[in-house]
């Protein structure tokens, strides 16, 4: 969680451009760790008329992004990648992952009064900067995974159901679907 000018809290979620947003807030102070929420501090900012910002992303897309981050040296996507993704997803969900084990994945978004969907990150971050009088020319691109194709192509009926079983309620709350 980051605090900016003591009037804005940014709650960072993995694979949602959180490093880019944090970097773009000049002088933002890290409270705790990057992917942690200090609920008392966030509520205090809200109570004093401030803004609590959270970025969110479709979990189907988040998982494909994690997959590509883990397989950066692999060749471009093809049918073999779909099988590889299926095996990877099964192992990750079975064995746990420090971020994917969080419930909900987008912790703290429900306490946010400014939610930025990943799919609209540039426009919504620009809007946030205008509202908060933050002078940022452009959101930097930090740590983005390579986008080979639409995330839907990675999923089989089985892997789609695995994601639905684990994050279906959260997806619905955020307005996401497959």
Q: What is the DSSP string of 63-132?
A: HHHHHHHHTTTSPSP-HHHHHHHHHHHHHHHHH--TTTTSSSTTTTGGG-SEEEEGGGHHHHHHHHHHHH
Structural domain for 62, as ranges: 2-174
Instruction: Please give the helix or strand (H or E) that residue 147 lies within, else none.
Output: none
Say how many C-beta atoms besides its own lie within 10 A of residue 116's C-beta: 24
Q: Give pLDDT, residue 146.
A: 60
pTM assigned to the model = 0.82
From the first residue on, what is the mean pLDDT of each consecutive set of 10 residues in the chain (178 residues)? 83 83 84 71 88 91 84 56 82 75 76 90 91 82 68 93 92 92
What pLDDT, on a 0 to 100 scale, did the predictor assign at position 79?
47
Q: For 58-79, give one letter per residue: b (16+ CB within 10 A) or e.
A: bbbbbbbbbbbeeeeeeeebee
Number of domains in the chain: 1
The CATH number for 100's domain is 3.40.50
DSSP code of residue 138: S
């Amino acid at each position: 969680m980051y605090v900016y000018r003591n009037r804005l809290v940014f709650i960072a979620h993995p694979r949602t451009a959180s490093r880019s947003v944090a970097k773009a807030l000049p002088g933002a102070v890290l409270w705790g760790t990057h992917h942690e929420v200090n609920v008392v501090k966030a509520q205090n900012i809200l109570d004093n008329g401030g803004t609590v910002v959270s970025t969110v992303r479709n979990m189907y897309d988040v998982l494909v992004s994690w997959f590509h981050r883990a397989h950066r040296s692999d060749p471009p996507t093809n049918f073999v990648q779909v099988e590889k993704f299926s095996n990877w997803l099964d192992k990750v969900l079975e064995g746990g992952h420090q971020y994917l084990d969080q419930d909900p994945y987008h912790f703290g978004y429900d306490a946010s009064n400014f939610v930025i969907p990943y799919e609209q990150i540039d426009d919504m971050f620009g809007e946030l900067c205008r509202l908060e009088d933050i002078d940022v020319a452009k959101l930097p691109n930090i740590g983005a995974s390579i986008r080979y194709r639409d995330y839907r192509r990675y999923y089989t009926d089985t892997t789609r159901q695995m994601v639905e079983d684990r994050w279906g309620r959260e997806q619905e709350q955020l307005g996401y679907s497959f």
